[in-house]
Amino acid sequence: MHEMSLAEGIRGIVEDAASERGFSKVNAVVLEVGALSSVEIEALRFCFEAVMKGTVAEGARMEVDTVAGVGWCMPCARSVPIAQLYDPCPHCGSYQVQATGGTEMRVKALDVDGPAGAAA
């Protein structure tokens, strides 16, 4: 389950931010997760809750903003929306589509309490 290592990475980002900015509590962690990232959101949510115990983010909400999948169709020479990796181009039907967006996962924002303010 790679979601556990992803959750541990999120914890590291949160702890580093807390140390740098001096906030005392995280109310929410907002993530951007690409539709093509192969991240199981419910598994990540379970792991997130487990790894945040005993940290400034214990009990924090995990909010997810989904980023749509985008690919570059080589025959059409244009960006096209794709729902899954290896989908054909919706315009020409070619399978020569390389994913260019929607594969990422990142911490977008933290909703925090403490001396450093309300958002990081």
CATH code of the domain in which 58 resides: 3.30.2320.80
* pLDDT value of residue 94: 96
Q: Indicate whether 41 belongs to any domain.
A: yes
| pLDDT beyond 60 at 70 | yes
Q: Indicate whether 120 belongs to any domain.
A: no
Domain that holds residue 36: 2-112
Q: Indicate whether 117 belongs to any domain.
A: no
When pLDDT is cut at 50, 70 and 90, the band that residue 22 belongs to is very high
Nearest of 63, 64, 68, 96 to residue 81 by alpha carbon: 68
Count of structural domains within the chain: 1
Q: Indicate whether 70 belongs to any domain.
A: yes
When pLDDT is cut at 50, 70 and 90, the band that residue 6 belongs to is very high
CA angle at 77 for the pair 74 and 82, rounded to the nearest 5°: 70
Mean pLDDT, residues 54-69? 96
| pLDDT beyond 50 at 81 | yes
When pLDDT is cut at 50, 70 and 90, the band that residue 120 belongs to is very low
Q: Are strands 70-73 and 97-101 parallel, antiparallel or unpaired?
A: antiparallel
Tell me the one-letter amino acid at 117: G
Nearest of 16, 80, 1 to residue 46 by alpha carbon: 1
Mean pLDDT, residues 62-88? 96
